[in-house]
Structure 1
Amino acid sequence: MTIPADNPYPRTNDRETIYLKNAITDPDIVVGDYTIYNDFVRDPAEFAKNNVLYHYPVNHDRLVIGKFCSIACGAKFLFTSANHTLRSLATYPFPIFFEEWDLEKKNVTEAWDNKGGILVGNDVWIGYEAVILSGVTIGDGAIIGARTVVTGDVPPYTIAGGVPAKPIRRRFDAQTISKLQKLRWWDWPRDAIARQMGAICSGDFDALCAADIPLA
């Protein structure tokens, strides 16, 4: 059975798991096809409100999440405005309170150090209550452990965990990782992915490589 494209719920009678793309209206949040978010505490459709924090338009930061990602309950994406600038002699964010201190409203972004957007690759698994900080890039196929705090980039197909996050191990050897990144199975047409589902789910890398790869 194929789920209709506009249906955010990929599982019958499950209102805790959604196709995240169908719940996003903010143009600065981009989510790829089939990426799922599960939330057993709050409405998963309110992901942008509850999980993408301090994401203010004044910064022009973007959250980009690739295809076929799995995001667990409570994962947070923490953007630049959560920071207080380290250039100041005070930790207090005076520029935010421009009215109180007769400051220029246009200088409000001086209250924090802008580290940029967040980029999550394809087929990434982000564990329960993990926190991803602004300026971070997570590579394709990476796994982020539960309650990990990601402060720096995570290479493709790397398992990372801890506070702050550190690489634990690579999921595959370097040659396999390189071939997977060239295959980019997540960009194949749906029917091609379906035909190779057995190879993908069983970890049969040789069979996947032997498949007819659709042209980009």
Structure 2
Amino acid sequence: MVGPDPRNPFPMEGFPQVCFIQNRVNNPQIEIGDFTYYDDPDGADNFERNVLYLFPFIGDRLVIGKFCAIARGVKFIMNGANHKLSGFSTYPFQIFGNGWESAMPAPDEFPYKGDTRIGHNVRIGYDSLIMPGVTIGHGAIISARSVVTRDVAPYSVVGGNPAQPLKQRFDDRVIGQLLAIAWWDWPVERISRHLKAIMAADLEALQRCADAVG
């Protein structure tokens, strides 16, 4: 048992609403890890339409790890959506030219939050909105229709608008050990051999698998 081919865009035969989106993303500012999928009956292979205001002249990136599950309608707002906020008007006069381009603000006058980073093994629920510069830690869960405006700790559950911590999935000791084990970095053949331990909640069993992997 070696698992599905991460290079196959549609790993579930006859079910094209689930796509390994690494194979369908062409924008060099978007990085997607192996086995991360987007589930959308309206076109799972067109994930890039959900990454908004990502402009090459700004240079920010969206980085999504491996083994993430992204539900229908999830949107990522990037730094290109930001307007200058320090003046009396936030209207972007300069983009319309015809003389107005002379009012172009300096680059450092725009709010810039940096790259948006989603860790490994993250689940993002239906219709959630991820704002610019957010980091979501490994193993986190984003509840449906959340608006994520700040960083999310590993293995935590957040929800709401703005998203707030709801609970930790495990205690600090277990989270620390899971992050150290980092099963998502194992070769896929080893992951396939130890699926039961990865999907269970027996930390000692998973640690034994990790020790066997070396």
RMSD between superposed Cα atoms in Å? 1.8
* Counterpart-to-counterpart distance in 1, 2:195 and 2:147: 32
Report the CA distance between 1:96 and its aligned residue: 2.0
- Report 1:153-164 matches (<5 A): 153-164=151-162
* Counterpart-to-counterpart distance in 2, 1:99 and 1:129: 38
Question: Percent same amino acid at aligned positions?
Answer: 43
Preserved CA contact (<8 Å) 1:78 1:134: yes
* Counterpart-to-counterpart distance in 2, 1:5 and 1:200: 19
* Counterpart-to-counterpart distance in 2, 1:213 and 1:87: 56
Report the CA distance between 1:109 and its aligned residue: 5.0
* Counterpart-to-counterpart distance in 2, 1:205 and 1:144: 23
* Counterpart-to-counterpart distance in 2, 1:96 and 1:77: 22
Task: Report the CA distance shift for 1:196/1:111 in structure 2 as closer, same or farther (over 3 A).
Answer: same
* Counterpart-to-counterpart distance in 2, 1:18 and 1:28: 19
Report the CA distance between 1:116 and its aligned residue: 1.5
- Report 1:20-169 matches (<5 A): 20-40=21-41, 42-48=42-48, 50-103=49-102, 107=105, 109=107, 112-169=110-167
Using structure 1 for the length normalisation, give the TM-score.
0.92
Report the CA distance between 1:83 and its aligned residue: 2.2
Task: Report the CA distance shift for 1:100/1:166 in structure 2 as closer, same or farther (over 3 A).
Answer: same
Report the CA distance between 1:122 and its aligned residue: 0.3
Unmatched 5+ stretches in structure 2: none
Instruction: Give CA-to-partner distance per residue, 1:76-125, whole Å, 9 cap, x none.
Output: 000112122211210211232233414176x5857842221200000000
2:15 equivalent in structure 1: 14
* Counterpart-to-counterpart distance in 2, 1:152 and 1:97: 32
Preserved CA contact (<8 Å) 1:95 1:108: no
* Counterpart-to-counterpart distance in 1, 2:207 and 2:5: 30
Preserved CA contact (<8 Å) 2:147 2:163: yes
Preserved CA contact (<8 Å) 2:6 2:35: no
* Counterpart-to-counterpart distance in 2, 1:15 and 1:54: 27
Task: Report the CA distance shift for 1:112/1:213 in structure 2 as closer, same or farther (over 3 A).
Answer: farther
SS in 2 for 1:45: coil
Unmatched 5+ stretches in structure 1: none
Using structure 2 for the length normalisation, give the TM-score.
0.92
